[in-house]
Amino acid sequence: MTGYPYRMLFAWIATLALAWLALSSPWSIAWNLLLAGVVIVIAVIAIVTTTRRARARRRASQAVLAAIDASLESMPGDIRHNTPLVLALGEPASALTLTFGNALVKISDGAIWVRIDETSRLAHVAAALKCWREGQGPDVVACLVSADQVREAGMLNSALRHWRTAIGEASRALGYSLPVCLAVYSAEAAGPTDDCPWFGISGEVPADTTLCAQLADRLARYPFVAVPADRTARMHRAARLDALVRWAARDLLPVLRDDEQGRTPTGRPVQIAAVGVTAIAGVPQPDSLQARFVSQITGLTPAVRSGSEAPYPLPDLLIRGIAMQPAQRVMSRSLAHAFAWLALAICAAAAASAWQNRALVVRVVSNMERYRTIDVTHDAARLDALQALKRDRDELERYQHNGTPPRLGLGFYRGATLLAPLHTLIAAYQPPPPPPSTIELESLALFKSGSAVLNPGSNRVLIGALEMIKAHPDKRVLVAGHSDTVGNAQANLRLSEARAASVRDWLADAAGLPLTHFAIQGYGDTRPKASNDTEAGRTANRRVEITLIPDCRGDMRGSQASLGHPACSFQSKE
């Protein structure tokens, strides 16, 4: 027995989803792991549910399939494909007993009939029989109704609704709308000597009113095909069957065919493909729904008679107008579905690749534009942008050397064209010229002769030095005072150091830096830059020099230390 490989298909879908998450997903690793867990859980639930349904189907159909195999053992092997397969439901349950006896399967001249005692098992048995027939499902569901044994309208309507639900579930399991044949039996205590034929329509059942008119015309002609001696009995039978048709059109077909929306609870419409009535030898019941209906339309009360029920004939003639279902090859369908899911996964991978390539190009181009728009005077910002460009370059070079990753592949990769402009921008970077390391200020512009107090307005002279210090907060500042040779050398030394301290105090206060950020030194007349023999030379030697030097503490924390720099040993002097 073979069936549709649902479990393999679910495993295939889960494999494709996991492969997409691993190779093509644009999301983070955490999200991919979470979604992978969800996919695995859903796949396991689907496989377990399918396994349970398969086991339930085998349990529900095991006895039926064994009976079918035993019945067909001596018959040609192709009978299962060439003979209509009919599933039979009965209301009440005794209708199946009167038709099948104690057998589960009955083979007539026109079909293989399978008895379904529990309506809830109809879908399971139908799916199992489709596997048994190698992809060719059951052809018809025959609903057998014994009109004389139905006494309560509520129970009848409930049974018809259960049939409708079960037929819809079976149609969904089979993949097509299962045709329905409604066969109604009426008991008659006395009638013509021959068996009653079936009066009905097969193939395409019209509306209820049209159905009554068509069958009434056929029933009206029925008595005139017999010899005169039997004509009266046939006329009585035709009248009873006409009333039976009207009752079926009023109480059976609307409930079986039409829900409130004209569909089964599963969403599939019930396809009534054949309707027929017949009379069998038996005991009419005066309290049945059919008898009450006859009393309503005729005003006559049926007489109570005694007798026994005869076996019900199978409605072989009614199903002849219903086409047999074609075989649906499971392998070709499953391969087509697997290929469809593969195509969907490829499309999803292509969409993800296109989206991620677009994001890559937008990011790299945006970083390039950002670098171009930064003014050369803002070197720190340019260096940050340059680092981003270098990371982009390294990433693209890695893709070029190691191969494009799957998430960017599938023919959508455009990063190779961005390498050349990236190299050009990175190579064109020029660091700004180093700032002046020393600013020299004339003492006469800052102090009066022999004084270490800053002149009013001297801050205009110190603004340039202040801007240089603020631009390089990572460097310490050395303030050195110098003098000429006029006067006492020791006095000149003290004066030059005092002037350096005044300049240091002003700069620290204006820049908002601690005094420990500065070092001062008084050199007196020991480091002249011009001859002291001339007035111009002495003026040039009277000066204050402000020098930027590396922070020794920062250098010691780095990989190299600025050992030997003369400013590293200076301390602030008060």
Amino acid 360: pLDDT: 94
Q: Is the pLDDT assigned to residue 107 strictly greater than 50?
A: yes
Question: Per the structure block, which two tokens stand in for 48?
Answer: 């377990």
Amino acid 301: pLDDT: 63
Average pLDDT, integer, range 443-447: 80
Amino acid 207: pLDDT: 67
Q: Is the pLDDT assigned to residue 568 strictly greater than 60?
A: no
Amino acid 33: pLDDT: 96
Cβ proximity of 517 and 476 under 8 Å: yes
Quote the Cα angle for 150-156-161, to 5°: 155
More confident residue, 346 or 469: 346
List, as one string, the DSSP characters of 83-149: S-EEEEEEESTHHHHHHHTT-SEEE-SS-EEEE-S-GGGHHHHHHHHHHHTTS----EEEEEEEGGG
Question: Per the structure block, which two tokens stand in for 24?
Answer: 């093509």
Listed range (211-215, 380-384, 562-566) with the worst mean pLDDT: 562-566
Say if residue 58 is exposed, middle or buried (CB neighbours under 10 Å; 0-12, 13-18, 19+). Answer: middle
Amino acid 462: pLDDT: 86
Q: Is the pLDDT assigned to residue 208 strictly greater than 80?
A: no
Amino acid 558: pLDDT: 41
pLDDT in tens, 491-506: 889 889 998 999 999 9
Question: Per the structure block, which two tokens stand in for 12?
Answer: 């295939």
pLDDT in tens, 554-565: 444 443 333 333
Q: Is the pLDDT assigned to residue 274 strictly greater than 60?
A: yes
Using 50, 70 and 90 to split pLDDT, how confident is the model at 567? very low
pLDDT in tens, 328-365: 777 888 899 999 999 999 999 999 999 999 999 999 99
Amino acid 433: pLDDT: 72
List the one residue out of 307, 302, 310 whose CA is nearest residue 285. 302
| Mean pLDDT of all residues belonging to the chain | 85
Q: Determine the Cα–Cα distance for residues 100 and 113; give it in Å rounded to an integer.
A: 9
pLDDT in tens, 131-183: 888 888 999 999 999 998 898 999 999 999 999 999 999 998 888 899 999 99
Whether the bond between 92 and the residue before it is cis, its omega within 30 degrees of 0, is yes
List the one residue out of 392, 509, 498 whose CA is nearest residue 448. 498
Q: Is the pLDDT assigned to residue 40 strictly greater than 60?
A: yes
Q: Is the pLDDT assigned to residue 574 strictly greater than 60?
A: no
Residue indicated by tokens 């379904």? 116
Average pLDDT, integer, range 96-113: 91
Q: Is the pLDDT assigned to residue 553 strictly greater than 70?
A: no
As a whole-number percent, the residues of the chain with pLDDT over 90 amount to 42
Amino acid 147: pLDDT: 92
Amino acid 308: pLDDT: 64
Average pLDDT, integer, range 76-92: 87
Tell me which range, 206-215, 254-263, 541-550, is most confidently predicted by mean pLDDT. Answer: 541-550
Q: Is the pLDDT assigned to residue 264 strictly greater than 70?
A: no
Residue 490: CB atoms within 10 A of its CB come to 9
Using 50, 70 and 90 to split pLDDT, how confident is the model at 100? very high
Q: Is the pLDDT assigned to residue 267 strictly greater than 70?
A: no
What does residue 478 show for φ and ψ, rounded to 5 degrees? -105, 120
Average pLDDT, integer, range 251-267: 65
Listed range (75-84, 174-183, 196-205) with the worst mean pLDDT: 75-84
What's the start-to-end Cα distance of the chain, in Å?
A: 104
Percentages helix, strand, coil for the chain (3-state, rounded to 5) are: 55, 15, 30
Question: Per the structure block, which two tokens stand in for 450?
Answer: 């022999």
Rounded to two decimals, the pTM is 0.62
Residue indicated by tokens 């029920």? 309
Q: Is the pLDDT assigned to residue 53 strictly greater than 90?
A: no
